[in-house]
Every structure is written in structure tokens, then in C-alpha cells.
């Protein structure tokens, strides 16, 4: 009996170890497929988004050049993978991959044309609202969805006030973009909403200083604020819990 018990004592931990190792391998495989899927999805939908934008909004100048299309597709794929690694297999992930796809396009257009098209901003807002309903319904996170909606209203109102006080500093496109940015920041939390709103101005200030240092005050052009807002949102989403 002692020998049999000893054998069982040795077999038990081995069986448990195999089960743990199998679970870890399963999780790793799932995460690998998730990352690959996010990269392919982001990289494929980026050029499709550019084609639709060029068709529906011809005033923006049509489809960008090949180098720009490759760059935006790569950036969208990287952002999608980063969100997939951060959020994992959760109901909120589709909303953030959607943010990566539309957000990169908005940043590209704002850098090139100093313009944030209303249809694209509204698409990000409406799509974010709908996709963030998934965790609200599936994971019973209705409080987070309500906080997201309030975040959209609060940040939009804050930017609107600043835009009315200083129209030269804040454009109406930035004011409208504040709504979807506030939506996502509000979903993440009240702290993220506060810091994300402030970080957008910090990033824009840093970029402005870099442009002035490189081109000089006379040759420097106005720095678009939209990419800094979207960059701040991505940073808060990826580097806060």
C-alpha cells in the first residue's frame, strides 16, 4: 500500500502539471490566432476604408499614394495587434479595432489636409457607441457604456467651450472629434477621461516644438490637433488597466 500510495503521489502532481501545461499552451495558441487575426483584419480593412472614403468623399482628393497606403495599413495592423494583446478575447475588442481603422484614417487626413471630415468623425462615434454595446449586453457592463456616453458629452462640451473662447487654437473639427475620443476614454474610466483629455494637448505641444525646431518659426506650418487627441486615446487605452 505504501508503494502504491507513493506511486499515486508521484502520478498526481504529474497529471496536474500536464493539465496546467495544456491550458497554458491552449491560451498561447488562442492568443497567437487572435494576434494574427487582428493584424490581418486591420491591414485588410485599412485600404478598404481608404477606397470607401475616396468614393464617398471625393473632395478629399481620392485614394492616397501607394507608400501612404502601405504606411496606414501597417500602422492600423500594429494598433489592432496592440489592442488585441491588451484586451484579449473580450467583447470590447471589436470596438477598439474599429477605433484603430477609423482613427488612423482620420489622423492621415488631418495631417495631409488639416481637416477632420464630419462623416468620418460621426462614423467613429456611431460605430463606437454600437460596438461598445457588446460588452454592455454580453458582459453586463451597462454602467461602463453609460459612462462612455457621458464621457463623449463631457469632452465635447469642454472642447466646444475652448473652441468658442479661442477659435484660433481649437478648430471645430477638433471639437467634433472630442465626442468619439471622449466616448472611448469614458469607457475606460473617469481617470482616463481626465488624463486623456490633458495628454492630447501635451502631445500636440511636443509635436509643435519639434516642428518649430526642425523648420524654424517662419517655415513652420500649423500642427493638426486631431492626431494628438487620437494618440492620447491610444496611449491611455494601452498603458492603463
Distances (CA, A) of 91 to 82, 95, 97, 135, 139: 16, 8, 11, 5, 7
Task: List the grid coordinates of 106.
Answer: 482620420
pLDDT at 15: 59
Place of cell 492568443: 31
Q: Reduced to 3 states, what is the DSSP secondary structure of residue 92? A: coil
Is residue 19 pLDDT above 60, yes or no? no
Asked if 84 contacts 97 with a C-beta cutoff of 8 angstroms, the reply is: yes
The helix-helix angle for 142-165 and 118-131 (nearest 10°) equals 160
Calculate mean pLDDT across residues 182-211.
94
Mean pLDDT of the chain: 88
% the chain with pLDDT above 90: 73
Name the more confident of 1 and 120.
120
**SS3 of 224, please?**
coil
pLDDT of residue 33: 94
Q: Is the pLDDT of residue 17 over 90?
A: no
The model's pTM is 0.87
Quick one: DSSP state of residue 60?
G
Interval 134-169: pLDDT, tens: 998 988 878 999 999 999 999 999 999 999 998 878
Separation CA 200–CA 196 (nearest Å): 6
Mean pLDDT of the region 73-92: 96
Amino acid at each position: 500500500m505504501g508503494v502504491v500510495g507513493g506511486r499515486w503521489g508521484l502520478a498526481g502532481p504529474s497529471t496536474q502539471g500536464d493539465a496546467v501545461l495544456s491550458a497554458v499552451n491552449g491560451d498561447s495558441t488562442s492568443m497567437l490566432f487572435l494576434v494574427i487575426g487582428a493584424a490581418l483584419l486591420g491591414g485588410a480593412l485599412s485600404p478598404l476604408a481608404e477606397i470607401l472614403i475616396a468614393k464617398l468623399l471625393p473632395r478629399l482628393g481620392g485614394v492616397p499614394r501607394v507608400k501612404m497606403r502601405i504606411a496606414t495599413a501597417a500602422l492600423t495592423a500594429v494598433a489592432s495587434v496592440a489592442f488585441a494583446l491588451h484586451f484579449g478575447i473580450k467583447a470590447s475588442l471589436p470596438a477598439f479595432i474599429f477605433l484603430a481603422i477609423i482613427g488612423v484614417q482620420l489622423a492621415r487626413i488631418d495631417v495631409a489636409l488639416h481637416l477632420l471630415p464630419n462623416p468620418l468623425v460621426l462614423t467613429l462615434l456611431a460605430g463606437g457607441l454600437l460596438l461598445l454595446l457588446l460588452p454592455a449586453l454580453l458582459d453586463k457592463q451597462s454602467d461602463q457604456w453609460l459612462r462612455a456616453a457621458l464621457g463623449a458629452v463631457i469632452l465635447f462640451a469642454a472642447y466646444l467651450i475652448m473652441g468658442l473662447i479661442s477659435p484660433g487654437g481649437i478648430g471645430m473639427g477638433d471639437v467634433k472629434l472630442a465626442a468619439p475620443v471622449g466616448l472611448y476614454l469614458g469607457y475606460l474610466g473617469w481617470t482616463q477621461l481626465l488624463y486623456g483629455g490633458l495628454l492630447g494637448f501635451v502631445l500636440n505641444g511636443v509635436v509643435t516644438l519639434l516642428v518649430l525646431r526642425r523648420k524654424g518659426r517662419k517655415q513652420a506650418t500649423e500642427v493638426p490637433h486631431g492626431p494628438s487627441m487620437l494618440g492620447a486615446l491610444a496611449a491611455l487605452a494601452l498603458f492603463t488597466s
